[in-house]
Amino acid sequence: MVIVLVVLAAIYMGWSMGANDAANCVGATIGSGVMSVRTGIIITCLFSFLGATLIGGNVINTIGKGVIDMGSIPLYEKTLLAFAALFSAAIWTTLATYKKVPVSTSHAIVGAVAGGGILLSTTLYFQKITQIFICWILTPLGSCILTIFLYRLFIIFFMFKPLKRYRRLIMFILIYLTSAYLAFSWGANDVANATGVLVALDFKSSHAAIIGASAIIFGVVTWGYRVIETVGFKIARITPVMTVAIGIATALNVHIYTRFGIPVSTSHSIIGAVWGAGIVKGIKTMNLRLAREIMVTWAITPVVAGIITYITLGIILVLTKQ
């Protein structure tokens, strides 16, 4: 019965991720006016599923076994921890989606697992956590710098006379390709946030990936439009050329971390890329107030998720002992 509850919590987490993070893949594209919301959702669903099932196992194993010493926890308590962590991270992500704020589900699940580990007095792998934390800082910075470089490169690219005639067609193709690649990278990295802890309960990573990918698709379809509005229309004024630079920079950034099994925030990457595009176009094009709100949300996410898990798991342990 407890295992069933954990799987349901993983599905809920996957759904909340899909609802919040769909904007990471197609928000900029939709904001540029090149793609409709419906088309963006279809592309996100298809390619995020492929990314999750084909190469999602790398980060799944990190979340499941690399944050705390899961092996030292008795099976029953470990199962309760998995449920509390998934449920707490999902609650925070759902709240952020309701407020239309892009939040890091990677931050949420890592903070949640760590919070449960602290309550159970389990060893935290501080070296790995430190590596993850450093990568969290580097993620938006890297995508910001990449976007600035790529944007200027594409501007030069389209200055060649032979290409000007076909600029619209080339731009259309590039935007769709980069959106697909970004959805693939997102699915590969973020599916672990929903199902990584299942690996600690002896689920096969391939089975966990399928469960998470399916739940993510459901979240994208049902509620994904809310944060798409924020990323696509409220952070900065986005042009088609900016969209291509943003998409490639974000996808490359996330894909590199995925190959090393490091859970990073696609939200961080895409927002950093949008900021990079805004810097190139001029700081006046950016919504600085919204940028500050997003950064504050990023900072408190792992702490809040950890506290919620600590409290939730504590209550569950007290009730079950009675």
The predicted structure's pLDDT at residue 228: 67
The predicted structure's pLDDT at residue 310: 97
CB atoms under 10 Å from CB of 293, counted, come to 13
Indicate the pTM of the whole model: 0.84
The predicted structure's pLDDT at residue 265: 83
Rounded to whole angstroms, the Cα distance separating 313 from 83 reads: 8
Whether residue 93 is predicted with pLDDT greater than 70 in this model: the reply is yes
102: helix, coil or strand?
coil
**Which letter, b or e, does each residue of 151-183 get, where b requires 16 or more Cβ atoms within 10 Å of its Cβ?**
beebeeeeeeeeeeeeeeebbeebbbebbbbbb
Q: How far is CA 81 from CA 69, 146, 199, 220, 262, in A?
A: 12, 38, 13, 27, 21
Q: Which residues are CB-contacts of 91 (< 8 A; sequence separation ≥ 6)?
A: 308
- E-only strand ranges, the chain: none
Rounded to whole angstroms, the Cα distance separating 182 from 143 reads: 12
Q: What is the dihedral of CA 53, 58, 61, 64, to 10 degrees?
A: -80
DSSP assignment of 71-96: GGS-HHHHHHHHHHHHHHHHHHHHHH
The predicted structure's pLDDT at residue 121: 94
The predicted structure's pLDDT at residue 113: 95
Rounded to whole angstroms, the Cα distance separating 189 from 178 reads: 16
The predicted structure's pLDDT at residue 6: 94
Nearest to 10 by CA among 93, 68, 96: 93
Asked if 218 and 16 touch (Cβ cutoff 8 Å), the reply is: no
Is 306 or 219 the better-scoring residue by pLDDT? 306
